Amino acid sequence: MLLSVSHIHKAYGETVVLPNVSFTMERGDHFALVGRNGSGKSTLLNIIVGDLAADDGVVSLEKDATVGYLPQYLDMVMEGTLYDFVLHAREDILDDEKKLAAMEEEMKTAEGADLNRLIDAYQSFSHIFDMKGGTAYRSQVEGALFGLGFTREDFDRDTDTLSGGQKTRLSLARILMGSPDLLILDEPINHLDLKSIEWLEGFLSAYKGAVLLVAHDRYFLNRVTDHILSLYDERARVYRGNYQAFADQRENELITRSREVEKQQKEIAHQEEVIKKLQQFNREKSIKRAESRKKMLDKVEVIEDFSEEAVMRPVFKCSRESGKDVLSVNGISKSFDENNLFTDISFEVKKGERVAILGDNGTGKTTMLREILSYPCESGFDSPVRFGMNVDVGYFDQAQKNLDPAKSVFDEVHDAFPSMTDGEVRQKLAGFLFRGDRIYDIIGTLSGGEKARVSLTKLMLGHFNFLILDEPTNHLDMESKEALEGALRDYDGTILFVSHDRYFVNRVATRILELYNGHLIEYLGNYDYYVSKRDEFHQTFAAAENPASAQKKNIRYGDAAGGTDAGASADTADGRDAWQKAKEEKAARQKIERQLAKAEEEIAAAEDRIKAIDAEFLNPEYQTNSKKLRELTEEQDALKERLEDLYSQWEVLSEQL
């Protein structure tokens, strides 16, 4: 047993954060810790690594086991260059390299038996060095730095020059290269772009050590975990499988529990009605029976309905319909000093579309949204950014700069919508989990997720018909993400958004714009389609970046079904051909399936008839009828021969499937 967590309890005042948490991990287990915001996930990790004391319980780690810990909020002193900082994660390997180099120097001057002895020792030590990963270590360090978004030019940069997000990525690289027995990662993908997340998924999926992590990316959890430690429902419970398996099982549990609650509540209501009627009889015997029933009812342990646990309930509506053309962007560019983010970008957004902007960190996604928003809705026809007729824009800022940190939650919303009554404001805030005195919490004291819910409340109340969203799921828990996904999918308006949440993008987007090498590539499909075509389209885009086609700044590709339009490229035609080929293959497969079913029917009929003939041979009436027996024998022989052909036919058809 690598890790044992036994009966951990943690409270702050009267608020219990961790109620009696127990679980164990073996070497190679990959655990994800899930739960609502504030359920104690980071607290539990801090207790496990010894940075925080539990009120009760014990944490035990296997003797001599090593742990690598990446906290959500990093406070680490860094020295030297980026490359050296990561390289020194394995001092044992670096020491061994020095030993091997010293042996090589010694062999240069040795002779005879001394040389043979040194060669044997060198070969033996080299084998040990190779087995512990020493030979490949430096290339793995480079791979980790590249995978987490650094360039070779960054390798010699001093760590003092890094931003907070870059330091987190660098620390993650060092921890991974340390190859600890247990990796503990708290929100490791917060500062990663999609490419880096995919690299980390591949690394952790193949990691032979144990992993315990917290992350809100459901795609990520599905790829890298085989156990889920749930802190939902005010208890800790381990589920086998990835996040999707956990979500399916939990949904079934909540449905079952909800039915049990409903059944119990009906029985309680029935008993209360019986008690009330007995009391109304006003007879001594009836009153005693009522009292007896009430005592029994008071002892009933009420089943708590966790399906009614707090989940925000956004509903986005439009105050009016916009025109068909919602947004037109024509030739916008942006650069900072010598850093060119994007050049001559053009695209349109039509009514009802849900368009996602993707791209690596630093490509200018948020900058593009802000550039678009810098133009007024009444911009003229000569403006590079034009909003359509009757377009009302609502903006979600990932930095929450539209919130006043000095105001209460209630005042923030009421001041923005002064025509609403106090009761109406309370009701809307309750739908976003601000209830009771929580509505008087000061904005500046709120968590990231709570601030996001305030912004979403204001966005919903605005009744905008065009939503521009910058990382709307960044600080939300999984339930809130799923609630937001459902609300946006049901929304009748238009959406343009930036998000690193692949599950969210896949569920919400109907079209994807990718910022790539300063230009725009358009994918007429969701995230799954984007992933399936991304590498192919990048190659096509690179081929298009030649003098003959330099004017083609934005490239568009057909949707997942192979559909095209007048502006579609040759790749779209390829997509149409692929779709037609898939259609023909499907028809051929269906034909084979029909032939296979027919063969199976004939086989069953022939086998049944052969059995029937065997029974007829035993019929006393046929025992002396040589003609009948000969007919039956001939029929059975023919059936057996036919059966062999049918078996062969079935086998061939099965292989074709």
- Beta strands 511-516 and 385-387 are unpaired
- Residue 157 lies inside a defined structural domain of this protein: no
Examine the domain organization and report whether 381 and 470 are in the same domain: yes
Of 444, 462, 480, the position where a domain reaches its end is: 462
- Regarding whether 471 and 484 lie in a shared domain, the answer is yes
CA-based nearest residue to 194, from 45, 319, 51, 356: 356
User: What does residue 459 show for φ and ψ, rounded to 5 degrees?
Assistant: -65, -40
What is the average per-residue pLDDT within 119-129?
93
Of the candidates 501, 525, 560, which is a domain's last residue?
560
Is 80 exceeded by the pLDDT of residue 575? no
**Residue 114 within a domain:** no
Residue 567 CA to residue 150 CA, distance in Å, equals 36
pLDDT for the residue numbered 311: 75
Q: What are phi and psi of 432, to 5 degrees?
A: -115, 25
- Do strands 227-230 and 237-240 pair parallel, antiparallel, or not at all (unpaired)? antiparallel
- Output the CA–CA distances (angstroms, integers) from residue 41 to 16, 71, 181, 216, in the order listed: 13, 11, 21, 12
User: 387 and 324 in contact (C-beta within 8 Å)?
Assistant: no
Q: What is the pLDDT of residue 25?
A: 96
Q: For residue 475, is it within any domain?
A: yes
Instruction: Tell me the average pLDDT across 307-315.
Output: 73
Question: How buried is residue 465: exposed, middle or buried, by Cβ count under 10 Å (0-12/13-18/19+)?
Answer: buried
Note whether 304 and 199 are same-domain residues: no
The pLDDT value given to residue 653: 67
Amino acid 157: pLDDT? 93
CATH no. for residue 538? 3.40.50.300
DSSP string across 506-526: HHH-SEEEEEETTEEEEESS-
The verdict on 367 and 476 lying in the same domain is yes
- Does a structural domain hold residue 115? no
Distance separating the N- and C-terminal Cα atoms of the chain: 46
Residues 6+ apart with CB under 8 A from 96: 125, 128, 129, 132, 134
Are 290 and 279 spatial neighbours (Cβ–Cβ below 8 Å)?
Answer: yes
pLDDT for res 548: 42
Sort residue 584 into left (φ over 0), alpha (ψ -120 to 50) or beta. Answer: alpha
CA angle in degrees (0–180, nearest 5) for 226-230-232: 155
Average per-residue pLDDT for the chain: 86
Most confident of 62-66, 398-402, 516-520: 62-66
Name which residue leads in pLDDT, 584 or 454. 454
CB contact at 8 A, 522 and 346: no
Spell out the long-range contacts of 337-342 with Cβ–Cβ below 8 A and sequence spacing 24 or more. 340/518, 341/367, 341/368, 341/518, 342/368, 342/515, 342/518, 342/519, 342/520
Could you read off the pLDDT of 228-277 as tens digits, one per residue? 999 987 789 999 999 888 988 887 887 887 788 888 888 888 888 878 87
Q: How far apart are CA 506 and CA 340, in angstroms?
A: 29
Average pLDDT on 186-208 reads 90
- Three-state secondary-structure class, residue 75: coil
**Structure confidence at residue 657 (pLDDT):** 57
- The answer to whether 49 touches 135, Cβ cutoff 8 Å, is no
CA-wise closest residue to 521 among 548, 498, 497, 544:
544
> How far is it, in rounded angstroms, from Cα 404 to Cα 354?
29
In a shared domain, residues 491 and 626: no
What is the structure's pLDDT at 581?
65
Q: Regarding predicted confidence, which is higher, 621 or 46?
A: 46
- Rounded CA-CA distance 645/596 in Å is 13
Is pLDDT at 447 greater than 70 in this prediction? yes
Describe the chain by its helix, strand, coil percentages, rounded to 5: 50, 20, 30
Residues 183 and 203 in one domain: yes
Q: Tokens in use for 626?
A: 């040589």
> Phi first, then psi: what are they for 34, rounded to 5°?
-125, 155
Residue-wise pLDDT for 396-413, tens only, equals 998 888 999 999 999 999
Asked whether 485 and 456 are in contact (CB, 8 A), the reply is: no
Domain match, 225 and 338 both: no
Tokens of 247: 């979500």
Q: Any idea what DSSP says for residue 158?
A: B
- Residue ending a domain, among 462, 495, 511, is 462
pLDDT for residue 563:
37
Q: Which helix (H) or strand (E) holds 460?
A: helix 448-461
Strands (E), 479-607: 494-498, 511-516, 519-523, 554-557
Question: In Å, how far from its chain's centre is CA 423?
Answer: 37
Domain assignment of residue 397, yes or no: no
Q: Could you report the per-residue pLDDT of 460-477, keeping only the tens digit for each?
A: 999 999 999 999 998 888
> In the numeric block, which tokens belong to residue 229?
């430690």
Pair of tokens at residue 527: 């995230």
Considering the domain architecture, whether residues 189 and 62 belong to the same structural domain is answered as yes
Same domain? For 473 and 336 the reply is yes
Total domains in the fold of the chain: 5
388 shares a domain with 474: yes
Q: Which residues contact 202 (CB under 8 A, 6 or more apart)?
A: none
User: Which phi and psi angles does 519 have, rounded to 5°?
Assistant: -125, 180
Residue 23 parent element (H or E): strand 15-25
Range in 464-473, 561-570, 614-623 with the lowest mean pLDDT:
561-570
* Cβ pair 155, 80 in contact under 8 A: no
Query: Which of 497, 468, 472 lies closest to 393 in space, CA to CA?
Result: 468
For tokens 């419970």, the residue is 237
Q: Is residue 546 part of a domain?
A: yes
Backbone dihedral region for residue 540 (phi beyond 0: left; psi -120 to 50: alpha; all else: beta): alpha
Mean pLDDT confidence for 390-394: 95
Say which DSSP state 81 is in.
B
Type of residue numbered 216: H
DSSP result, 320-382: SPPPSEEEEEEEEEEEETTEEEEEEEEEEEETT-EEEEE--TTSSHHHHHHHHHTS-TT--TT
| Inside any domain, residue 151 | no
Q: Which residue has the higher pLDDT, 174 or 623?
A: 174
pTM: 0.61
- The answer to whether position 136 is within a domain reads no
Q: Alpha carbon of 241 to those of 225, 238, 247: distances in Å?
A: 7, 10, 10
Are residues 455 and 468 part of one domain?
A: no
Residue 514, Cα to own-chain centre: how many angstroms? Answer: 19
Q: Which of 462, 470, 424 is nearest to 320 (CA)?
A: 462
Q: Which domain holds residue 493?
A: 325-392+464-560
598 and 490 belong to one structural domain: no
Please state, as a whole number, how many other Cβ atoms lie within 10 Å of the Cβ of residue 537: 21
Say what the pLDDT of residue 470 is: 95
Q: Which residues pair with 557 in a beta bridge?
A: 523
- The number of helices, as runs of H, and strands, as runs of E, in the chain is 19, 19
